A and B are shown apart, each in its own frame.
Chain A
Amino acid sequence: DAGITQSPRHKVTETGTPVTLRCHQTENHRYMYWYRQDPGHGLRLIHYSYGVKDTDKGEVSDGYSVSRSKTEDFLLTLESATSSQTSVYFCAIRGTRGLDGELFFGEGSRLTVL
């Protein structure tokens, strides 16, 4: 158990509403990631963080923002949700065994935008 908790696990919302997904870790890892998973695309990186208040964009960052005010929490916000953001969102942390550290994943948050 990598000590990663995502909330909410399921959410249905309407187009144009704001949505925040939370990732909480108990492992004190520096690197945290948000991915989205869609059929045929595998996992695509949205944003990542390499420390408190240090974040950067991934390959599919448009329409998303993140914040990390504490080591243990990494928030993903959709300011105005669109149907194209219907997806399963995964948070991950990187193991601290040097540069070859693997990713550990949360259970996922399924978001449906109507």
Chain B
Amino acid sequence: AQSVTQLGSHVSVSEGALVLLRCNYSSSVPPYLFWYVQYPNQGLQLLLKYTSAATLVKGINGFEAEFKKSETSFHLTKPSAHMSDAAEYFCAVSEEGQNFVFGPGTRLSVLP
């Protein structure tokens, strides 16, 4: 069965600092992996996705994630945090033909 863990329910960084949000998954087959962002009182928006092409995936707003099969990880990074990045971030996994499974989410705060 698929599952997703996100280390840290709340992460705080200073503006301009590196953002690192962790995601580990379990899957019995090569998965599809996704990061979504949710701003207050809104639905989820896709940041980026991995679908077995390049292991380093670039998304919107300067975010990127690297698929590491040996570590079963798909961590999300951004070199320099901006105040507008404050939101909740969800990692999700989907196996071929199966439904999505979401992690519990990580709330990112950006301090001035």
Contacts and interface: CB of A to CB of B under 8 A. Distances in A.
Interface of A: 4, 33, 35, 40-45, 48, 58, 90, 99-100, 102-108
The 5 closest A-B pairs by CB, nearest first: A105-B43, A100-B51, A42-B102, A43-B102, A42-B104
Interface of B: 4, 9, 32, 34, 36, 41-46, 49, 51-52, 90, 92, 94, 96-97, 99-100, 102-105
Contacts of B100: 33, 45, 103
23 contacts: A4-B43, A33-B100, A35-B102, A40-B9, A42-B4, A42-B103, A42-B104, A42-B105, A43-B44, A43-B102, A45-B99, A48-B99, A90-B43, A99-B97, A102-B34, A103-B34, A103-B44, A103-B46, A104-B46, A105-B36, A106-B43, A107-B42, A107-B43
A21 B51 CA distance: 32
B90 to A, nearest CB: 6
Nearest to A58: B99
Contacts of B102: 35, 42-44
A102 B43 contact: no
A40 B102 CA distance: 11
A108 B104 contact: no
If over half of A's interface residues share one DSSP class (helix, strand or loop), that class is named, otherwise mixed; here it is strand
B26 to A, nearest CB: 15
A100 B99 contact: no
Nearest to A104: B46
Contact of A105 (B44, B104, B105): B44
Nearest to A107: B43
Nearest to A38: B104
A108 B43 CA distance: 6
A106 to B, nearest CB: 5
Query: Which among B43, B94, B103, B105 has the greatest number of chain A C-beta atoms within 10 A?
Result: B43
A108 B100 CA distance: 18
B44 A90 contact: yes
Nearest to B44: A105
A102 B49 contact: yes
A17 B98 CA distance: 34
